[in-house]
């Protein structure tokens, strides 16, 4: 079954035709010919999800909700069993009929911090880089976006989205199994691009910022959310070893440093709109993601530092625009050194 075709049709009706062949080739390689050992198991789950009549969706509330008056105990039990086979659920929360997926992350808290600062999403084409299972994508659709394309290399995240979309059945939103770096160069297609929770996973933050800029239309809006540390424009933490038990964390700048990185990468109108420490209400233990979570990553005696003795997770939201015209670097006229007279 081709889970992505209708979304590509939808994008094509918004002027995407030029890039469609490149996306189809990528999907062929990354999905249809994938050798990932878990994918067949996830696809099997999707095939076991039963059709449900008369589904109603409420995407504009903290718990994204899918309901049906026609739900029966046996249908509900089958759905619950299949959703559990797609654990761990890191992102949520969702009500799916009788099942409350209170995932590890309360993404609604981040969305409520981001949302007030966004340019009106109505009629915009949105790219969500590192979208996870599409929780934010559903909220963006509810905010009026014309299309939302999530990209995420995690097959589990893609399949969680596809499982939810068995009921929601939207073509305007999808999560495609690819990374930002795999997109065609200089697409300049999207009106708003989100990169939330991705920059600190990248070894080369400037390449990430430049790649994000290349996906945006001139004048388009970047929404960047990432881990930061307190400090001035010269402050950057590069954890030598683990950070909050994660071993794939590279650059944690201050928000002032990040602003200057964005300007250096060619963005304009750069501003930090929100900054706060991550609470243990936002990232928490969950039956839907067994194992450890933020309470275990913080120092047992003081919550201001991680178990490694580094500053506790703090996140900033920055907004910036791609210039309307590609500004060229200024030319410097270097005066020839004056020759000392004899
Ligand atoms: N190069 C890449 N390109 C695209 N996706 C990537 C890449 N590298 C990693 N990812 C994906 O980015 C997501 C990062 S989680 C943030 C989720 C959501 N945005 C959130 O803001 O809660 C981090 C967190 O929860 O801290 C994962 O789903 C990765 O697979």
Using one digit for the tens of pLDDT, what is the confidence trace for 84-142? 999 999 999 999 999 999 999 999 999 999 999 999 999 999 999 999 999 999 999 99
Question: Is residue 1 over pLDDT 80?
Answer: no
* Residue 200 labeled ligand binder: yes
Q: What distance in Å separates the CA atoms of residue 114 and residue 282, rounded to the nearest whole number?
A: 14
Q: Cβ distance 205 to 251 under 8 Å? A: yes
* Residue 63 labeled ligand binder: no
What phi and psi values does residue 169 have, to the nearest 5 degrees? 55, 50
Compute, in angstroms, the gap from residue 198 CA to the centroid of ligand 1.
5
Compute, in angstroms, the gap from residue 136 CA to the centroid of ligand 1.
12
Residue linked to tokens 């670097």: 329
Lowest mean pLDDT among 181-195, 217-231, 317-331: 317-331
Mean pLDDT to the nearest integer, 22-49: 96
Q: Ligand 1 atom 2: the closest Cα is on which residue?
A: 179
250 CB-near residues (< 8 Å, 6+ apart): 200, 201, 202, 203, 205, 238
Containing 304, the helix (H) or strand (E) segment is none
What phi and psi values does residue 296 have, to the nearest 5 degrees? -85, -15
Instruction: Give the ipTM of the model, two decimals please.
Output: 0.99
pLDDT at 339: 57
Please report, rounded to a whole number, the percentage of residues in the chain having pLDDT higher than 70: 95
What phi and psi values does residue 165 have, to the nearest 5 degrees? -75, -10
* Residue 308 labeled ligand binder: no
pLDDT at 303: 84
**337 Cα distance to chain centroid:** 51
289 CB-near residues (< 8 Å, 6+ apart): 87, 88, 89, 90, 103, 104
Q: Ligand 1 atom 30: the closest Cα is on which residue?
A: 154
pLDDT at 334: 53
* Residue 196 labeled ligand binder: yes
Measured from the CA of 151, which atom of ligand 1 is nearest?
Answer: 4
pLDDT at 326: 62
Measured from the CA of 132, which atom of ligand 1 is nearest?
Answer: 28
Best of 92, 111, 198 for a ligand 1 pocket test (most atoms within 8 Å of beta carbon): 198
* Residue 110 labeled ligand binder: yes
pLDDT at 266: 98
What phi and psi values does residue 11 have, to the nearest 5 degrees? -65, -40
Mean pLDDT to the nearest integer, 195-209: 98
Mean pLDDT to the nearest integer, 26-49: 96
Q: Ligand 1 atom 13: the closest Cα is on which residue?
A: 130
Question: Is residue 340 over pLDDT 90?
Answer: no
How many CB atoms are located within 10 Å of the residue 308 CB? Answer: 14
Pocket of ligand 1 (CB under 6 A): 91, 105, 107, 129-132, 151-154, 157, 179-181, 196-198, 201
pLDDT at 107: 98
pLDDT at 295: 97
Compute, in angstroms, the gap from residue 154 CA to the centroid of ligand 1.
9
Compute, in angstroms, the gap from residue 203 CA to the centroid of ligand 1.
14
pLDDT band at 280 (very low <50, low <70, confident <90, very high): very high
Compute, in angstroms, the gap from residue 227 CA to the centroid of ligand 1.
12
Compute, in angstroms, the gap from residue 130 CA to the centroid of ligand 1.
4
Compute, in angstroms, the gap from residue 131 CA to the centroid of ligand 1.
6
Question: Is residue 335 over pLDDT 70?
Answer: no
Which tokens sit at 91? Answer: 């992102």
pLDDT at 218: 98
Running DSSP on this structure, what letter comes out for residue 30?
I
pLDDT at 39: 97
Burial (Cβ within 10 Å: 0-12, 13-18, ≥19) of residue 319 = buried
Per-domain boundaries in the chain:
5-321
Please report, rounded to a whole number, the percentage of residues in the chain having pLDDT higher than 90: 93
Best of 148, 159, 197, 208 for a ligand 1 pocket test (most atoms within 8 Å of beta carbon): 197
Q: What value does the mean pLDDT of the chain take?
A: 95
pLDDT at 325: 79
Does domain 5-321 correspond to CATH entry 3.40.50.150?
yes
Compute, in angstroms, the gap from residue 338 CA to the centroid of ligand 1.
55
């Amino acid at each position: 079954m081709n889970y992505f075709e209708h979304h590509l049709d939808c994008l094509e009706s918004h002027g995407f035709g030029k890039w469609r062949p490149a996306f189809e080739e990528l999907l062929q390689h990354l999905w249809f010919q994938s050798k990932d050992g878990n994918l067949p198991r996830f696809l099997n789950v999707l095939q076991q999800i039963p059709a449900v009549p008369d589904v109603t969706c409420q995407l504009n509330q903290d718990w994204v909700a899918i309901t049906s008056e026609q739900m029966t105990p046996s249908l509900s039990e089958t759905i619950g069993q299949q959703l559990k086979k797609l654990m761990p659920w890191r992102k949520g929360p969702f009500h799916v009929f009788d099942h409350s997926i209170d995932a590890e992350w309360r993404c609604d808290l981040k969305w409520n911090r981001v949302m007030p600062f966004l340019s009106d999403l109505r009629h915009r084409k949105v790219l969500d880089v590192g979208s996870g299972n599409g929780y934010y994508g559903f909220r963006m659709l509810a905010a009026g976006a014309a299309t939302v394309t999530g990209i995420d290399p995690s097959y589990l995240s893609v399949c969680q989205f596809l499982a939810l979309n068995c009921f929601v059945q939207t073509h305007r939103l999808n999560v495609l199994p690819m990374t930002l770096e795999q997109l065609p160069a200089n697409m300049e297609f999207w009106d708003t691009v989100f990169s939330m929770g991705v920059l600190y996973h990248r070894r080369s933050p400037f390449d990430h910022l430049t790649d994000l800029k290349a996906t945006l239309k001139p004048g388009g809006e970047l929404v960047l959310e990432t881990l930061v540390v307190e400090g001035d424009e010269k402050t950057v933490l590069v954890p030598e070893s683990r950070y909050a038990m994660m071993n794939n964390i590279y650059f944690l700048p201050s928000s002032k440093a990040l602003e200057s990185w964005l300007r250096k990468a060619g963005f304009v109108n750069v501003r930090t709109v929100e900054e706060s420490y991550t609470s243990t209400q936002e990232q928490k233990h969950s039956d839907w993601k067994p194992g450890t979570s933020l309470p275990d990553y913080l120092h047992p005696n003081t919550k201001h530092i991680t178990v490694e003795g580094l500053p506790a997770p703090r996140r900033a939201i920055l907004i910036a625009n791609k210039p309307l015209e590609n500004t060229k670097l200024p030319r410097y006229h270097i005066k020839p050194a004056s020759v000392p007279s004899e």
